[in-house]
Amino acid sequence: MDISVFSKLIVPAIIVFVCIYGLVKKCDVWNAFLDGAVSGVKILYKILPSLVALLTAVYMLRASGALDLLSHLLSPVTGFLGIPAECLSLGILRPFSGSAALALGTDVIKEFGPDSEIGRIAAVMLGSAETTFYTIAVYFGALKLNKTRYAIPAALIADLAGYVGSVIAVKLFF
């Protein structure tokens, strides 16, 4: 199947399929949807404050030239891995803060255009990594474990591989 047809149809197809499945299973599709949408409002309510704080900081970093400085300092490393310099600060921020990475990523996507190569790499990097340190803090914090052993290095290796993979995947598909 043509990949663009697939990408265009996957979201509506899932929505239609889930709704039909729900009807067949005699689930109250309408009220389930409304309940779920309310939880979506809660998500937005929760992310807006941190987004305001972090997007302001990201705009300040960019306007002050600090981001250019950082990208310039790290360009040898990224050049070696094939990661565009513009996406590098995104990769550094991603394991620490999801909303900061989201803010910075949106900025990159807006500046270079969502259909540009850099814009796509930024989007794929955002989509293929997690807030590693947050996740580790939640899981080990809940258990009060003091020895994390190799959980952090293994998770960071996964993140780094994901970044390099993002570049490869974008070059492969577009």
Partner 1 sequence: MMGKLWVCMLVLSFFCAILFGKTSELSSSVLGGAEASVELCISISGLILLWSGVMEIMKKSGLMDKIAKIITPVIGFLFPKAKKDKQIMADISANVSANLLGLGNAATPPGIRAAEGLHRLSGKNSASDDMCMLVVINTASLQLIPTTIGAIRASCGASVPFDIIPAIWVASIISLVAGVFSAKLMARFYRR
Chain positions 4 to 23 lying near partner 1, rule: CB under 8 A, are 4, 6-8, 10-11, 14-15, 18-19, 21-22
Length of the chain: 174
Rounded distance between C-alpha atoms, residue 148 and residue 156, angstroms: 13
Nearest CA-CA partner of 83 in 155, 173, 161, 154: 161
Residue closer to partner 1 by CB (options 76, 146) is 146
| Stretch 90-149 residues interacting with partner 1 (CB under 8 A) | 96-97, 100, 102-103, 105-106, 109-110, 113-115, 119-120, 123-133, 135-140, 142-143, 145-149
154 lines the binding site for partner 1 (CB under 8 A): yes
Of the residues 1, 2, 25, 88, which one makes contact with partner 1 according to CB under 8 A: 25
Q: At closest approach, how far in Å is the CB of 86 from partner 1?
A: 15
Please name the residues in contact with 38: beta carbons below 8 A apart, sequence gap of 6 or more: none
Residue closer to partner 1 by CB (options 57, 77) is 57
Phi, psi of 84 (to 5 degrees): -60, 140
Phi, psi of 111 (to 5 degrees): -70, -45
**How many of the chain's residues bind partner 1 (CB under 8 A)?**
107
Residue closer to partner 1 by CB (options 36, 76) is 36
| Stretch 47-76 residues interacting with partner 1 (CB under 8 A) | 47-48, 50-66, 69
Cα 2 to chain centroid distance, Å, stands at 26
Q: At closest approach, how far in Å is the CB of 84 from partner 1?
A: 14
- By the 10 Å C-beta count (0-12 exposed, 13-18 middle, 19+ buried), 67 is classed as buried
83 lines the binding site for partner 1 (CB under 8 A): no
Residue closer to partner 1 by CB (options 77, 137) is 137
Cα 112 to chain centroid distance, Å, stands at 17
